[in-house]
Amino acid sequence: TAKKLEITKDWFIISAHCGQRISDFMKFTTEVISIKTTSNGEKDFLEFTQKKTGKIMVIPVLPEVTNILNKRDGNFPPKMLDQKYNEHLKVVCKQAGIDELIFGGLMIEGRKVDSHYNKYLLATSKNCGRRTFATNYDKDLSPTELRNFTGHTTEKMLLTYINKDNDEIAIRISEKLDKKK
């Protein structure tokens, strides 16, 4: 239904702007929001413990998440089961035109089949929002800051996750150093 797709879209936007696994973001309630004083005034933060790692997370609430909360009278969207979220996410991504051909694996008759598929077919709760966050904020945040946001335990794991190779890292360093001149 249109309502479930809207809920899915809102959860995806939240996941793409908090960098967390579905096991964490789908548990968000207003209780995980705290207010902290920063040099720019009071800001909202999400404070929670990651289910998989047990790591205590404190991350800023980004404007895109605030917009969803405002739209929903200060609340997170209704919870969904992972399987339903995955089903609806594929539809939301297809409707959004996220259909480029990319290489990946799909489960077909109980087996993972690697091939080129439309990107929306590969959209799943497992990594989609978290990877989107890491990719979108890679240019704005240092690897250490990204790791702090996503909860990756090592920089190597983060860089593998966002498909960064040594050339890309070297170019990024060069560009940063050029800015300092």
DSSP 8-state symbol, 76: P
> pLDDT tens for residues 28-62?
999 999 999 999 999 999 999 999 999 999 999 99
Q: How many CA atoms lie within 13 A of 105 on its CB side?
A: 6
Q: Which of these, 9, 1, 6, lies nearest to 93 by C-alpha position? A: 9
- Predicted confidence band at 163 (pLDDT cuts at 50, 70, 90)? low
DSSP line for 112-160: EEEEEEEGGGG--TTTHHHHHHHHHHTTTS-HHHHHHHH--S-HHHHHH
Mean pLDDT lowest among 12-21, 64-73, 121-130: 121-130
Cα–Cα distance, 175 to 169 (Å, whole number): 10
- The helix/strand/coil state of 47 is strand
Q: How much is the pTM?
A: 0.84
DSSP H or E run through 79: none
Q: Which amino acid is at 49?
A: T
- Gyration radius (Cα) of the chain, Å: 18
Question: What pLDDT is recorded for position 173?
Answer: 65
Do residues 80 and 125 touch, judged by C-beta distance below 8 A? no
> pLDDT tens for residues 17-28?
999 999 999 999
- End-to-end distance of the chain based on CA atoms, in angstroms? 55
> pLDDT tens for residues 105-136?
898 999 999 999 999 999 886 778 888 898 88
